[in-house]
A = this chain, B = another copy of it.
Amino acid sequence: MQNRNHLSNVKISHNVSVIENGLLEIPMLQLLNEQGVEINPKKVKFFDRDTAQKILNSMHYTRLLDDRMIGAQRQGRISFYLASLGEEAATVASAAALEPQDMIMSQYREQGALVYRGYTTQQFMNQMFSNKDDPNKGRQMPIHYGDKALNFMTVSSPLGTQIPQAAGYAYGQKMAGQSAITICFFGEGAASEGDFHAGLNMAAVLNCPCVFFCRNNGYAISTPADEQFAGDGIASRGIGYGVKTIRVDGNDVLAVYSATAQARKIALEENCPVLVEAMTYRLSAHSTSDDPSGYRSKEEEQKWAERDPIVRFETWMQEKNWLDKEALEAYKTKTREEILAALKVAEKISICEIDEIINDVYDTPPWHLEKQLKELKSHIKKYPEAYPKTAGSNK
């Protein structure tokens, strides 16, 4: 680190030298090449077979879940979904490199991390059907997961807001003496928000042990990366904040795992933030409300489909003789069934009773909310057919 004082140690030049971004090259870590061949000459052992299996399964699970839920949305069973096709390595392998006590703040496309942490199929479904078993009590749109027990912060739609929050959370963990960090996921689009700037700068100045994990997947809805920023990705910004930075191939499980593990280690041991930029691609539509054919080519998508992170990782596992194809197929079949079954259960569970409409605004409802609830309940009693989802439980 350079001395932080605003003028000491500065080099002097006598000609106007214009610094351009080309001066700095930030390489991208890759440990499996596009063909899935390990190219790290040192042959480091990253994780054991069980972990590898768990990573692979979690990636498959995520893809199966995405697939099924897009279907469910098309069938009109849920209102909205947002898939992570193509980005499974970035979200699953990063989660694998963390400890359970680390707080995960996600943007919304990190279901892979949640799968790895052990969120159950039924939990996913309850959230997406906004039913009364959803711990968020059905208050948020599908995909806004959250689970305190798993140290997974509830998703919030406004982009970028989690970035300074992660700094604050990590500061609190440090002050409490915990051996834990906070990881904050966000897209390259969200990184344009002012909160990104505030969060990275504060984390650096206040020595917050956190990992800022940017999924640079090339698009923010329809906006391509080159209309989002003019610099060299998001990693190049780390320099400006004095934040240690790693760029990684986001479709390479080994690289993502290593980069995140290293980032976590630095964050915890040196009490500082680390920025990780995972280069990947949003193969899916932005969400079920979106159709990417209006803004990008099939060729581009095809090129990236060939960089499938699952295939790449499976090739490596195969090479190591860790891939049990039969077991994998069985796992996928079981998962498909499990998802379907849980979906059917979830869609039959009713939504929260009407009293929940005023809970959790405050720790306990103040009198004016009690009054509004009372009026609402007597109104529903008068018109039960108009409020079929709550009339039954309205006492």
A238 at interface, CB cutoff 8 A: yes
Of B6, B13, B228, which contacts A30 at CB under 8 A? Answer: B13
Q: Given A28-B11, A226-B5, are A239 and B205 neighbors across the interface (CB < 8 Å)?
A: no
Is B233 a contact partner of A6 (Cβ separation < 8 A)? yes
Interface centre among A197, A218, A225, A279 (most CB of B within 10 A): A197
For this chain, the copies found in one complex come to: 2
Q: Which B residues are CB-close (under 8 A) to A42?
A: 15
* Cα separation A6 to B191 with both chains bound (whole Å): 14
A245 at interface, CB cutoff 8 A: yes
* Cα separation A40 to B17 with both chains bound (whole Å): 13
* Cα separation A16 to B31 with both chains bound (whole Å): 9
* Cα separation A258 to B236 with both chains bound (whole Å): 27
CB distance from A286 to the nearest CB of B (A): 16
A327 at interface, CB cutoff 8 A: no
Is A240 a contact partner of B231 (Cβ separation < 8 A)? yes
* Cα separation A279 to B7 with both chains bound (whole Å): 7
Please give the number of chain A residues whose Cβ is less than 8 angstroms from any Cβ of chain B in the complex. 75
Q: Which B residues are CB-close (under 8 A) to A41?
A: 14
Is A6 a contact partner of B188 (Cβ separation < 8 A)? yes
Is A279 a contact partner of B241 (Cβ separation < 8 A)? no
Q: Which B residues are CB-close (under 8 A) to A172?
A: none
CB distance from A5 to the nearest CB of B (A): 6
Is B239 a contact partner of A19 (Cβ separation < 8 A)? yes
12 pairs across A/B with beta carbons < 8 Å? Answer: A4-B230, A10-B27, A12-B27, A14-B29, A14-B30, A14-B41, A19-B238, A21-B238, A21-B241, A197-B197, A230-B241, A236-B242
Q: Which residues of A contact B (CB under 8 A)?
A: 1-2, 4-7, 10-31, 39-42, 188, 192-198, 201, 204-205, 216, 218, 224-233, 235-247, 249, 258-259, 262, 266, 274, 279
